[in-house]
Each structure stands twice: as structure tokens, then as C-alpha cells.
Amino acid sequence: MISDLDTIRKPVSLPLLQDEKVIKYYTASYDIGSSLASSWRLGNLYLTNKRLLFVQVRKILFEVLLSQIKTVNIVKRGWILSKKINQLNIVSEGRKVPYIAIKDPENWKKAIEERTQKSQSTPSDPQPTIRNLQPDEVILKGKGGYLTPGQSRWWLGTFLLTHKKLTFFTYKSGFVWETLLSSIKDLRIEKRVYGVSKSDTICVVYESFGELSKVWIISLNLETWRKELYKRTLLKVDRETLDKIVTKLDADSKGIIRFLYENRHARIDTLAKLIEAPTHMDILLKIREIINPTAEEIIGYPILSFESSKIDWETGEKVTFSWWLAGQPYKEGKEPLLDIFDEDDDLAVYLELLGIKEDKLRLSVMNNKLIIDADKDYHKEIPLPAVVNAKSFTRRYKNNILEVRLKKVGYD
């Protein structure tokens, strides 16, 4: 339950970690120890059951896991216009020491300390994500290092890649960082100091709070991680790309590619029947020795991948033990319907949701956006053209079309 909420400034939509919830937030000023009045930054301080964060507009200026907080002090020091007031002083592992000017700092100190003690006394889960996943949802898992801008040292822990997210956690602290694959905008190899020398790392550029942020990751199998991340985030497979590949293939291999382009996925027995292959091994040899090597020569990546379990986004079906086209094959004319109608005192939103069951739909309104979640991997945020009552809306779902009607503020 959220308490002690800010009545001055609306909260932003935080990208919360798994099982994380906001406990307390309020308007505050943030400083890292400068004597200049201009160094103060106005924003919101958030306390969750996992982290303490200071957010300015949509950018995180400071965040720390509760388990990493050493002490919380009250310090009287200069603020704007040289006025001296009591401020929070947060001391944590490997972080700059921030000062936070906020209403009732003593109450905040008590709340942070209570949450910190609870976090540090709770046994850590050595595999916090795997606990909530089916084994076939994990694509890659491995030890590695994680670094953020301004961070003085690397975190050492475990990376986990699923069909939806890239996550980093440690055995001691649990979740440290995660991002949706759909939020990743760029991947590049950069040299960073790791240990006593410079090493290749992957710079992950991702969208957070509407702005671009970045982190660096390092792993023993760095090229494997780079290829898998690129294939699942940035690689686009369109008709032009396929045409470049199929021109260098034999007739049977072309048939396999074209069938998967039209149908998205297929079991190996279906592909064997398609080209009248005598055995399944003939299909495997064509994929591994002809199709994928040809694709790697042209685009740098294998074009076909075997997935033990994956969601077909067009139908919502969970498909097991099948071959798929790698990357994100979008076809022209396949964008789902989305219309918003302004009807005086109401807004009516119509959205096509292919293959999603009604009992899996979860709707909410936050920051004047209609937020739709379904199953485990569907998430969509729709900006609304008018201010609406977040608690007053109705919905109807029929023939894969979702209708949501929202009351405008002032027309309730």
C-alpha cells in the first residue's frame, strides 16, 4: 500500500524491478556535496521495498539498493540561498555521498532505516529470476560484470537473458538492474578498464524514463552474448534481407526460408514434408551447413534459430520445439489497429489484440497513459489526448478488439 505520497508533484512511471513496489515518495532537492546553490537538482525521492531513488523528470540521478546502504545521517548544511536546513546524508557501498533536502527528514531517515534493516535481514535468493521462470524461458545465463556511468567499480554477479528481459543480479543483493529487450536501442563493443587492463565490453544503450541510458557488461563469452542480444533486439528480417540470402541458396533451402517467412515457425517434421526430405537429419544439415552459414556471410548472423519455447506474437500461442526466423520479421500491413476517439466527455480507445485471451488482460491508467498488460510478455502504453479519471473506465473485448472508455476529468 502506498503511503506518505506527494501532493505537490505527480509521480513518474518508474521501471520497477520484479516484486518491487513504491512505499513512499515526495518532492525533494538533491546535491552531491557542492557548495554552489546551482548544484541542487529538484525532483522526487522514492523509497521502494528494494531501492532508494532520486528522479528528476524521467532521469534517475541517484539509486541504491537498500541492502547496500551503510548509514543514513541528518546533517545541517547550506541549501538554496545559503539557508541552512537539516538534510538526509546517504552513505552506501561504492557510491557518491548524496545530500537530500526534503520535508521531515527525520521521518524519512526512520523509514529508510526500517526498510534497510528489513532488506539486509532477509535471506537473499541466489536465483531470484529463475524461481519465477520455466526452464525453457532462459536463453542465456552466465557470470559477468556490470558498470554504470559514474560508477567507480564493477559489480560482479550473474546475467540472465530471457525472451523478454536482460537482468543482472548478485547472490548478496538480488536484482541490481534489468531492462526489457524492447527498450534496447543500440549495442556496441567498447574498451573499458576491467581489473588492471582494458577489455572489450558490450555497451547496452536502452530507453529509461523516455531518455537514453547506458550500462557496460562483460562476460567470458562476450561474443555469444552480443550476437544473442543483437538477434533479439536490433536484427530486422524483412523481404529485402531475405532476397539477398535466398539468391545464394539451393531450391530446397529457398523453400524452407520462404515457408518460415510466411508462417513464422515450423517443427522439423513439417519442414521435412515440405521439401520431401528422407530424414530429419537432412533438414538439420541444410540449416547448419547451408542456410545459416550463407546468412552469416551476408548479414553476419544465422537466419534460423531453434526455440524450445516461444510466443507467437501474431496469435498469442506458445510454440514449442520449432524453428524460427531469427530477429524480428515484420510484414507490411500487419500493424495492429489503434484508434482514439474524443467523444466530448469521454475518450474511446480501440485496440486490436491478436491471440490474447480476455482473462489475461490487465488495464490501468497512470500519467495520463492507458497501460495494457497481458500474459507475461505483452505490454503497451497509449498516451491519451485529454486528462482522464484514472479510476473511472470501462472495457469490452470482442473478436480480438479491445474497447476502453475513459471519463475526462471534469465530466465525471
Per-residue pLDDT of the chain (412 residues; tens, 9 = 90+): 344 444 445 555 666 766 778 888 888 888 876 555 557 788 889 998 888 888 876 677 778 888 878 889 998 888 776 678 899 988 876 566 788 999 899 999 999 999 888 776 654 444 444 445 555 478 889 999 999 887 778 889 999 998 888 989 887 767 788 888 888 888 999 999 888 788 999 999 988 766 778 899 999 889 889 988 988 888 777 777 888 888 899 989 988 988 888 788 999 999 999 999 999 999 999 999 999 999 989 888 788 888 877 777 666 677 888 898 876 544 444 445 677 877 778 888 888 776 677 888 889 998 888 998 886 567 888 888 888 888 888 998 876 778 899 888 876 5
How far, in Å, CA of 173 to CA of 65, rounded?
Answer: 7
SS3 category, 305: strand
Q: Which domains does the chain have, with CATH numbers?
A: 22-121 (2.30.29.30), 130-233 (2.30.29.30), 239-325 (1.10.10), 338-408 (2.60.40.790)
Three-state SS annotation for the chain: CCCCCCCCCCCCCCCCCCCCCEEEEEEEEEECCCCCHHHCEEEEEEEECCEEEEEECCEEEEEEEHHHEEEEEEEEEECHHHCEEEEEEEEECCCCCCEEEECCHHHHHHHHHHHHHHHHHCCCCCCCCHHHCCHHHEEEEEEEEEECCCCCCCEEEEEEEECCEEEEEECCCEEEEEEEHHHEEEEEEEEEEECCEEEEEEEEEEEECCEEEEEEEEECCHHHHHHHHHHHHCCECCHHHHHHHHCCCCHHHHHHHHHHHHHCEECHHHHHHHHCCCCHHHHHHHHHHHHHHHHHHHHCCCCEEEEEEEECCCCCCEEEEEEEECCECCCCCCCCCEEEEEECCEEEEEEECCCCCHHHEEEEEECCEEEEEECCCEEEEEECCCCEEEEEEEEEEECCEEEEEEEECCCC
- Please name which of 26, 58, 63, 60 lies closest in space to residue 45, comparing C-alpha atoms: 26
